[in-house]
A and B are shown apart, each in its own frame.
Chain A
Amino acid sequence: MIKVKINGQEQSWDGDPDLPLLWFLRDEAGLTGTKFGCGQALCGSCTVIVDKEAVRSCITSINDVAGREVTTIEGLHPNGDHPVQKAWRQVNVPQCGFCQAGQIMQAAALLMDNPKPSHDQIREAMSGNICRCGCYQRIENAVHLASTGV
């Protein structure tokens, strides 16, 4: 039996220990905010925070996070008012919105690690997250805004 804390709640799994965390979250725990984009850690749509680190849940097995704390977009802030989320809304970042949960989780992890990133640091840290709609200019501006106070 694998135990993992997701958004502060203890969850358990006694199925395939190799099941990617992404599918545990989406299909078993019903937390569909984390998205499937590539399955190979190439696009970042599935980004969640494990302890304090951004992790691609599509290539992380449920076993890898046993005993650890996973935060998904649903658990980032109780009212959805994390500075990154607020900045995202102020800048009107999303188009289709599908990649945005992953983008937001990546940005939140970046700011935990580096509260005042430069534009180049933002671009570097966010480069693993693809947005096919091309919201990059606004993503960069929103991360910057979140880091300077929303």
Chain B
Amino acid sequence: MNFIDNPGKLHGFEKTGFEKNIKIEKVSRRSILKGLGITGGFVLAAPVMSRQAFAYETGAGKMPHGVVVDPRVFVAVGPDGIVTILAHRSEMGTGVRTSLPLIVAEEMEADWSRVKVKQAHGDEVKFGNQDTDGSRSTRHYLIPMRQIGAAARTMLEQAAAKRWGVPATEVKAVNHEVVHSASGRKLGFGELAADAAKESMPSIEGLKLKDPKDFRYLGKGQVGIVDLHDITTGKALYGADVRLPGMKYAVIARPPVTGGKLVSFDPDTALKIPGVEKVMKVQGWPWPSKFQPLGGVAVIARNTGAAIKGRDALKLTWDDGANGKYDSVAYRKELEEASRKPGLVVRAEGDADAALKTADKVVVGEYYLPHLAHASMEPPVAVADVKGDKAEIWAPVQSPGGTREDVAKTLGIPEGNVTVNVTLLGGGFGRKSKCDFALEAALLSKELGAPVKVQWTREDDVHHDFLHTVSVERIEAGLDKSGKVIAWRHRSVAPTIASTFAAGAKHAAPFELGMGLVDMPFEIANISCENPEAAAFTRIGWFRSVSNIPRAFAVQSMVGEIAAATGRDQKETLLALIGSPRIVKPAVKDMWNYGEPQDSYPIDTARLRKVVELVAEKGEWGRQVPKGHGLGIAVHRSFVSYIATIVEVAVDDKGKLTVPRVDTAIDCGTYVNPERIASQIEGAAIMGLSLAKYGEISFKDGKVQQKNFDDFQVVRIDESPALTNVYIVPPGPDTPPSGVGEPGVPPFAPALMNAIFAATGKRIRSLPLGKQLEA
């Protein structure tokens, strides 16, 4: 593949020190407004997509602040011909900072080597929704970004036609210039920039989008990410890399138990550490309080090393509060007991109770999945500079708009006085959708009257995460004499993310139910999905693919158990359960469907079957494997994409596990950058293997028992799969784009466990695997 090897033109962040960068950023913000010329936003009311114009609708318009389709907000053309395109979503490794601007460049006929990408500040009124989560960026912005590019192209074409005095229909933008082929005249984008800025904004409905067969970049996978050169040379700017004149470094001691409070502290030992300048209290909010800080004691120092040493030297007394009793061993028993009793029915079709009673055989699986920490390589970090009633933040946040809102509320200042600069994110996985670390920096900067960087240590990150939930998933499958599944009861018991927003929330929210529980696609006559109560005792949050992890684990493990119980092939059992190609419409009141309309994003079992068949073919399902090896398969629809994975596992006589090969097929509809899709799926296999082998955060006396990568282990290169293959289903002409960042994770662990069963005859129902094979 060819990759852009001239990254000098592609930097979003200038190379020349950050102080300078701030200035550049501000200047270019103005030039962006000036570039195509007109200040004052022309914002289309969301939703902008209409049936007449496009083949599909998305849920983009229903997101907070919807979608803004305006080239004057997103695109600038300089007199030198450099096209600057704003990236308004956060880059945490998915490639979105490249992909969305690339869509604009494609449609406006810009030459990518003459495009600069600039990161947008947090401002959702101006840019539309910026929450970089839910695997939504491409699916919500493919069409808007194409429209923005097409509108910019149209304005450039109109300007050229006027200059030449010819009808606009006779001119055409081609590779960074507009040509009039009848006369052979050409004008570069730079030469047209000033005139194009005076052109009126074309109507979105009337825009002519490119024929996909003429695409130069989209779907080709030949453009490297814009930050590639900076990342490989250490110049890429992450949250922790921001340095401001006079900046102080802060590390905070937080209550060890969620909801705990500081009773007393002795700053003297900390103040004796060389480099420590000050010890101060940090305001905390009672739990639950969405993303507000936990409070505690901050050590302020001249560098991070001194601040960490000072923090560790603090003498602190805490009141642990009500959550001091949280104990993972006891809580697991509670969840298991709850899963064995009827709970709130959230989907009912036929009569599962009756069918289970009359079934010839009932296969029961009770699965346990513990809390997980995100453990992104970059621990939470933020810089704040609060002066009077103005605040400027630099932070690796997935939700720059939400951060702006929360900073304004926390400091009691108008939102318009808050600037949120988004750096690169050293991983996010959902953790950095919560901006508590930026709020801490804002509070400290306000009190100190100086810029402050708050750096979390890895221990802070592991102890004070918004954790992936803990759950018990219990499935009972009733089989008739022929081995056909006639009844399915799935009880899912887990503390809800809603408990982080509202005290006492005990049932899953519709968006959690919709992640693999009530949208279960099997063709079974009698279905009951239930959600017994579960209380939360710590902060629960989104973790890459969220509730899909436990649900896919349970459902796809159960497929393996049914295959074993009936003596059939896993893949054939899976296809039989999926059933006929059809659109599934579960009997569910608040069907979430990832926020997407079911018309354009139905549950389509033809697509589900297709990824199973594709991965089986490419991944050579049924191939002969050596002794001690086994193959496992799993499929799952999440974030409106369809993904199937085959894992080959090898287990030696000591129970040591290796993964010789992984094959994954994904149908994510129309796609932008297949090379980044492959990287996401390769990475999802590693994250899947990590959570399956090691992933566990446990509590005793309300405190997290793990602290760092020694006891919260993740997979390293020497245990990573020897080979991971990714197959992407070619989209139909109008197939809407769907998620990529998250959906690779859920099928991995169950495919692995099905493979382990094939290799050893042992069924693993409790994660992590740990030493279970060594017994």
- Chain A interface size, as a band, is 35 or more
Interface string of B457-482 (1 = CB under 8 A from A): 11100000000000000000000000
Interface class of chain A by DSSP: loop
Set of chain A residues within 8 Å of B687, measured between Cβ atoms: 132, 134
Q: Is A148 an interface residue (CB 8 A)?
A: no
Do B683 and A89 touch across chains, with their CB atoms under 8 A apart? Answer: no
Interface string of B274-291 (1 = CB under 8 A from A): 110000000000000000
| A128 vs B428: C-alpha distance when bound (angstroms) | 22
Closest A residue by C-beta to B18: A32
Do B308 and A132 touch across chains, with their CB atoms under 8 A apart? Answer: no
Given contacts A16-B275, A130-B716, whether A99 and B229 have CB atoms under 8 Å apart is no
Do B377 and A42 touch across chains, with their CB atoms under 8 A apart? Answer: no
Set of chain B residues within 8 Å of A100, measured between Cβ atoms: 231-232
Interface class of chain B by DSSP: loop
Set of chain A residues within 8 Å of B95, measured between Cβ atoms: 95
Do A95 and B94 touch across chains, with their CB atoms under 8 A apart? Answer: yes
Do B378 and A137 touch across chains, with their CB atoms under 8 A apart? Answer: no
Interface string of B231-243 (1 = CB under 8 A from A): 1111111101101
Set of chain B residues within 8 Å of A73, measured between Cβ atoms: 233-234
Do B720 and A134 touch across chains, with their CB atoms under 8 A apart? Answer: yes
Do A94 and B682 touch across chains, with their CB atoms under 8 A apart? Answer: no
Partner of A97, one of B236, B274, B675, B715: B236
Q: Is A74 an interface residue (CB 8 A)?
A: yes
Interface residue ranges of B180-230 to A (CB < 8 Å): 224-225, 227-229
Q: Is A38 an interface residue (CB 8 A)?
A: yes
Q: Is B653 an interface residue (CB 8 A)?
A: no
Looking at the complex, which of B153-161, B329-337, B512-520, B706-714 is the stretch in contact with chain A? B706-714
Q: Is A138 an interface residue (CB 8 A)?
A: yes
Given contacts A45-B377, A96-B377, A129-B717, whether A16 and B679 have CB atoms under 8 Å apart is no
Q: Is A35 an interface residue (CB 8 A)?
A: yes
Set of chain B residues within 8 Å of A16, measured between Cβ atoms: 273-275, 305-306
Set of chain B residues within 8 Å of A40, measured between Cβ atoms: 458, 708-710
Residue among A27, A38, A80, A96 with the highest chain B CB neighbour number at 10 A: A96
Set of chain B residues within 8 Å of A28, measured between Cβ atoms: 303
Looking at the complex, which of B57-65, B143-151, B419-427 is the stretch in contact with chain A? B419-427
Partner of B243, one of A30, A35, A97, A124: A30
Interface string of A34-75 (1 = CB under 8 A from B): 111111101101000000000000000000000000001110
Q: Is B638 an interface residue (CB 8 A)?
A: no
Closest B residue by C-beta to A43: B709
| A24 vs B240: C-alpha distance when bound (angstroms) | 14
Partner of B717, one of A27, A74, A88, A127: A127
Residue among A40, A45, A95, A134 with the highest chain B CB neighbour number at 10 A: A134
Closest A residue by C-beta to B94: A95
Closest A residue by C-beta to B710: A42
Do B682 and A101 touch across chains, with their CB atoms under 8 A apart? Answer: no
| A76 vs B708: C-alpha distance when bound (angstroms) | 29
Set of chain A residues within 8 Å of B5, measured between Cβ atoms: 89
Set of chain A residues within 8 Å of B305, measured between Cβ atoms: 16, 19-20, 22-24, 27
Partner of A98, one of B224, B378, B455: B378
Do B424 and A96 touch across chains, with their CB atoms under 8 A apart? Answer: yes
Set of chain B residues within 8 Å of A31, measured between Cβ atoms: 234
Partner of A37, one of B274, B306, B379, B723: B379
Do A98 and B724 touch across chains, with their CB atoms under 8 A apart? Answer: no
Interface residue ranges of A91-123 to B (CB < 8 Å): 92, 94-101, 104, 122-123
CB distance from A64 to the nearest CB of B (A): 14
Do A132 and B376 touch across chains, with their CB atoms under 8 A apart? Answer: yes
Interface residue ranges of B712-747 to A (CB < 8 Å): 714-718, 720-721, 723-724
Q: Is B92 an interface residue (CB 8 A)?
A: yes
Do B718 and A37 touch across chains, with their CB atoms under 8 A apart? Answer: no
Q: Is B704 an interface residue (CB 8 A)?
A: no
Do B458 and A37 touch across chains, with their CB atoms under 8 A apart? Answer: yes
Do A19 and B378 touch across chains, with their CB atoms under 8 A apart? Answer: no
Set of chain A residues within 8 Å of B717, measured between Cβ atoms: 122-123, 126-127, 129, 131, 136, 139-140
Do A132 and B228 touch across chains, with their CB atoms under 8 A apart? Answer: no
| A22 vs B684: C-alpha distance when bound (angstroms) | 30
| A42 vs B10: C-alpha distance when bound (angstroms) | 33
Q: Is B250 an interface residue (CB 8 A)?
A: no
Set of chain A residues within 8 Å of B455, measured between Cβ atoms: 36
Q: Is A135 an interface residue (CB 8 A)?
A: yes
Partner of A33, one of B234, B306, B675: B234
Q: Is A11 an interface residue (CB 8 A)?
A: no
A selection of 29 A-B contacts at a CB cut-off of 8 Å is A23-B303, A27-B249, A27-B303, A27-B305, A31-B234, A32-B243, A38-B709, A39-B308, A39-B458, A39-B459, A40-B458, A43-B458, A80-B229, A89-B5, A89-B229, A92-B228, A92-B679, A95-B683, A96-B91, A96-B93, A96-B424, A97-B236, A100-B231, A122-B717, A126-B717, A131-B717, A136-B717, A137-B720, A139-B717
By a beta-carbon cutoff of 8 Å, the part of chain A in contact with chain B is: 15-16, 19-20, 22-24, 26-28, 30-40, 42-43, 45, 72-74, 76, 80, 85, 88-90, 92, 94-101, 104, 122-124, 126-140
